[in-house]
């Protein structure tokens, strides 16, 4: 169990705190992903937990005890670096033994532990290999094994998969899951890759500009991103966010509810606004809809009509840029894919809209039915 | 690697024509003198007696004389080796210490950095002359020692003190090279393995010997090789400080060969000595490089 209490890190000469009053509680045995763009403070947070950097203020507690003044090697926290930081001049065996040998552990115990760990990480037959001859995923295993030998209670992983080739990522993800199950370790890992975060973590903590934006169970976060920054970050491509106001329309003469951004009216698939929403030009809201929820439609009841101005095929699906006046929204198509320059009508089911207030807090998901 | 990459480029036959001038120059300027000197070393030629063509061929006689009977030569070799070991050790320790200090930033770092590199840029002749002056009987060094209560030291009258003076001069002159090479080496040591070692519980000493030193080893060896080659050739400082004296007690190889050639006009004998030194240095540098050669050449990837 690990607690971050108002954890803050300021670097001299920088006006903005790298980590700004972060409060986070991580259960024993839980896997927590710190997700955020580069420079959002996640690595600084990790470094403070492990003890490579000292917090400017705030506290870090493990099982209720503050560890801020505990020296790095006595914290019982392991860190695996993004570039693995394996000792390249040593063999696998020497790498794994390092953490024990520097603590003057008896030779027979070192040998036993090293061989057990090597077996566990699947490098039992490569103990005598020079580290510099290993592949990326083998180096990753050595880096993890080298930490596990010292039996940490908490394992920190900094971008554990981003330096691996795609196939190795898949198997490494399985490996990390097995590790968590078999050892019951508390794992905190930092990543900017949401696929990585979503596929491994029990809970996600989203950070930006040094602040913690949201902490939530992975599934819930996908279903109900409670802050607009989270919605803008999750998904590939992320959610379309419109900013404007709701108005009851006579735009097509038939009434109905519209969302207006700039000069464009988006027709919503309902006649009445949700209870949380006030109509009119001075009531400002955000409206979100995911690219994958937009689909091609025929007939008059479309959400928006626009011209296809960009297509990016990504294997099985295709991301399309749809330009409406001076706005651009993204839609994800599997088949059929419209042609470039074609005018298309798009619609989305009423329950797939996300409504945020002007401060970016989620009001509700889904529009009321007719 | 693609067909057209520069590493795979094969010169066409016509292309080789253009290398002829360069080859002729290097043949005339480099190879011929070397071969003439090599031939000379097998003769008894002396410019005061006859031309090289008339000199009689003596086979390995000069070499035998040098290696078996010429104690002065063997002592010069031993003395140069001792000088190399002492100077290089001191320069390495001092250079590494200074380089380590410069890893963290402090006030005046830039100025000190330039100041520390200056000795290296001074001409050896000037260094030799300056230190000769400093070590005079009533020179600045002795005046400072007098303040400490040590009465005037005759630096150039005692073989030990003269040797120490040479060592001090050489260390002052060339520590900056070690400093520069080791500093760039230390800066190139990746940071994360060091942090990883710290997290795993290594003490600063263990971090240095187990993580930093292995990464630094090729750089250290390169620094040693460069400096070893220089020390073997050391001439200017010794010539200006002691002229090899008192007696021949600070005579290095270069100084001895110089005396053979220009005092005694034994050019053939001197050439033989020079070739022996060349062979010895080649062997030594080859042996030094063996442990790090793979590490240095592997990274071309």
Give B195's contacts in chain A (Cβ within 8 Å).
52, 79, 81, 85
Query: What is the CATH topology of the domain spanning B69-298?
Result: MetI-like fold (1.10.3720)
Same domain, A270 and A183: no
Q: Transcribe A260-310 into DSSP letters.
A: EETTEEEEES-SS--TTPPPSTT--EEEEE-GGG-EE--SS--SEEEEEEE
Same domain, A42 and A187: yes
pLDDT recorded at residue B3: 46
pLDDT recorded at residue A252: 55
Same domain, A199 and A245: no
Asked if the structure places residue A142 within a domain, the reply is: yes
Query: What are the residue ranges spanned by the domains of chain B?
Result: 15-59, 69-298
Give B199's contacts in chain A (Cβ within 8 Å).
50-52, 72-73, 77-79, 147
Beta-bridge partner residues of A286: A243, A356
Q: How many domains are there within chain A?
A: 2
| Cα–Cα nearest to A188, from A45, A322, A31, A14 | A31
**Is A220 part of the contact surface with chain B (CB cutoff 8 Å)?**
no
Q: Using CA atoms, how far apart are residues A44 and A55, in angstroms rounded to an integer?
A: 9
pLDDT interval class at B2 (50, 70, 90): very low
Radius of gyration of chain B, Cα coordinates, nearest whole angstrom: 24
Q: Summarize pLDDT for B6-39 with one digit per residue, the tens.
A: 555 666 677 788 888 999 998 989 888 888 888 8
Asked if the structure places residue A336 within a domain, the reply is: yes
Does the pTM surpass 0.95? The reply is: no
- Going by C-beta distance under 8 Å and a sequence separation of 6 or more, which residues neighbour residue A109? A100
Residue showing tokens 């005061």: B48
Same domain, A70 and A163: yes
Last residue of a domain, one of A223, A251, A285: A223
Q: Summarize pLDDT for A29-83 with one digit per residue, the tens.
A: 888 999 888 888 888 898 999 988 899 998 999 988 899 888 888 888 889 888 8
Last residue of a domain, one of A158, A191, A223: A223
Give A103's contacts in chain B (Cβ within 8 Å).
201
Q: Summarize pLDDT for B144-201 with one digit per residue, the tens.
A: 888 888 777 888 888 888 888 889 999 999 999 999 999 999 988 888 899 899 888 8
**Residue A194 in contact with residue A232, Cβ under 8 Å?**
no
pLDDT interval class at A256 (50, 70, 90): confident
pLDDT recorded at residue B301: 39
For A145, name the nearest residue in chain B, comparing CA atoms only. B200
Q: Summarize pLDDT for B33-90 with one digit per residue, the tens.
A: 888 888 888 887 877 777 777 777 777 778 887 788 888 888 888 889 999 999 999 9
Q: Closest Cα of chain A to B110: distance in Å?
A: 21
Same domain, A252 and A144: no
Q: Where are the alpha helices (DSSP H) in A184-235?
A: 194-200, 218-223, 228-233
User: Could you tell me the residue range of the domain that residue A338 belongs to?
Assistant: 240-365
Last residue of a domain, one of A180, A195, A223: A223
Q: Which of residues 168-207 of B touch A (CB under 8 A)?
A: 190, 192-193, 195-203, 206
Asked if the structure places residue A229 within a domain, the reply is: no
Asked if the structure places residue A230 within a domain, the reply is: no
**Residue A58 in contact with residue A230, Cβ under 8 Å?**
no
Q: Which of residues 46-85 of A touch B (CB under 8 A)?
A: 50-52, 72-73, 77-79, 81, 83, 85
Same domain, A356 and A254: yes
Give B298's contacts in chain A (Cβ within 8 Å).
132
State the best of B191, B196, B212 to mutate against chain A, taking most chain A CBs within 10 Å: B196
Same domain, A279 and A205: no
CB atoms within 10 A of CB A57: 13
Q: Summarize pLDDT for A210-247 with one digit per residue, the tens.
A: 888 888 888 888 888 888 888 888 888 889 999 988 88
Beta-bridge partner residues of A347: A295
State the best of A80, A87, A140 to mutate against chain B, taking most chain B CBs within 10 Å: A87
């Amino acid at each position: 169990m690990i607690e971050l209490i108002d954890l803050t890190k300021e670097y001299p000469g920088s006006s903005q705190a790298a980590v700004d009053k972060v409060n986070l509680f991580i259960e024993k045995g839980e896997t927590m992903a710190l997700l955020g763009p580069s420079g959002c403070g996640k690595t600084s947070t990790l470094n403070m937990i492990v003890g490579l950097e000292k917090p400017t203020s705030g506290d870090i507690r493990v099982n209720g005890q503050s560890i801020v003044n505990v020296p790095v090697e006595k914290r019982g926290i392991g860190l695996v670096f993004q570039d693995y930081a394996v000792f390249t001049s040593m063999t696998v065996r020497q790498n794994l033994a390092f953490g024990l040998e520097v603590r003057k552990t008896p030779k027979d115990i070192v040998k036993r532990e090293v061989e057990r760990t090597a077996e566990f990480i699947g490098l039992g037959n490569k103990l005598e290999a020079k580290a510099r001859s290993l592949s990326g995923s083998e180096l990753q295993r050595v880096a993890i094994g080298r930490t596990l030998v010292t039996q940490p209670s908490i394992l920190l992983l900094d971008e554990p998969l981003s330096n691996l080739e795609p196939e190795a990522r898949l198997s490494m993800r399985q490996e990390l899951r097995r590790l968590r199950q078999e050892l019951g370790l508390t794992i905190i890992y930092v990543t900017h890759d949401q696929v990585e975060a979503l596929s491994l973590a029990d809970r996600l903590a989203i950070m930006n500009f040094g602040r913690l934006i949201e902490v939530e169970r992975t599934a819930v976060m996908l279903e109900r991103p409670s802050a607009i920054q989270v919605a803008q970050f999750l998904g590939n491509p992320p959610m379309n966010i419109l900013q404007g106001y709701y108005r009851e329309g006579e735009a097509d003469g038939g009434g109905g509810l519209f969302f207006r951004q700039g000069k464009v009216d988006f027709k919503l698939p309902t006649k009445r606004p949700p209870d949380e929403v006030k109509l009119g030009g001075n009531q400002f809201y955000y409206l979100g809809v995911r690219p994958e929820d937009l689909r091609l439609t025929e007939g008059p009841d479309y959400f928006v009509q626009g011209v296809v101005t960009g297509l990016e095929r990504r294997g099985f699906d295709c991301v399309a840029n749809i330009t409406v006046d001076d706005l651009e929204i993204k839609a994800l198509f599997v088949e059929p894919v419209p042609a470039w320059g074609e005018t298309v009508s798009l619609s989305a089911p009423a329950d797939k809209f996300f409504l945020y207030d002007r401060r970016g807090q989620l009001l509700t998901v889904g529009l009321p039915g007719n | 690697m693609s067909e057209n990459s520069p590493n795979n480029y094969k010169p066409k036959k016509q292309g080789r024509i253009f290398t002829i001038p360069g080859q002729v120059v290097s043949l005339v300027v480099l190879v011929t003198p070397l071969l003439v000197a090599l031939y000379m070393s097998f003769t008894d030629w002396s410019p005061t007696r006859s031309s090289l063509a008339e000199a009689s061929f003596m086979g390995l006689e000069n070499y035998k004389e040098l290696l078996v009977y010429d104690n002065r030569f063997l002592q010069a070799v031993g003395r140069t080796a001792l000088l190399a070991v002492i100077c290089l050790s001191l320069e390495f320790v001092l250079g590494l210490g200074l380089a380590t200090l410069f890893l963290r930033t402090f006030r005046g770092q830039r100025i000190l950095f330039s100041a520390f590199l200056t000795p290296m840029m001074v001409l050896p002749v000037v260094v030799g002359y300056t230190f000769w002056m400093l070590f005079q009987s009533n020179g600045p060094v002795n005046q400072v020692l007098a303040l400490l209560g040590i009465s005037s030291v005759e630096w150039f009258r005692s073989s030990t003190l003269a040797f120490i003076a040479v060592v001090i001069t050489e260390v002052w002159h060339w520590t900056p090279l070690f400093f520069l090479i080791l500093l760039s080496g230390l800066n190139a040591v990746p940071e994360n393995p060091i942090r990883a070692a710290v997290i795993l519980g290594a003490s600063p000493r263990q971090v240095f010997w187990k993580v930093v030193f292995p990464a630094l080893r090729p750089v250290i060896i390169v620094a040693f090789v460069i400096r070893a080659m220089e020390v073997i050739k050391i001439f200017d400082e010794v010539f200006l400080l002691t002229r090899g004296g008192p007696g021949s007690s600070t005579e290095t190889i270069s100084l001895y060969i110089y005396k053979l050639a220009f005092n005694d006009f034994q050019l053939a004998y001197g050439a033989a000595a020079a070739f022996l030194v060349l062979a010895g240095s080649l062997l030594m540098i080859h042996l030094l490089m063996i442990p790090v050669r793979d590490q240095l050449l592997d990274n071309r990837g």
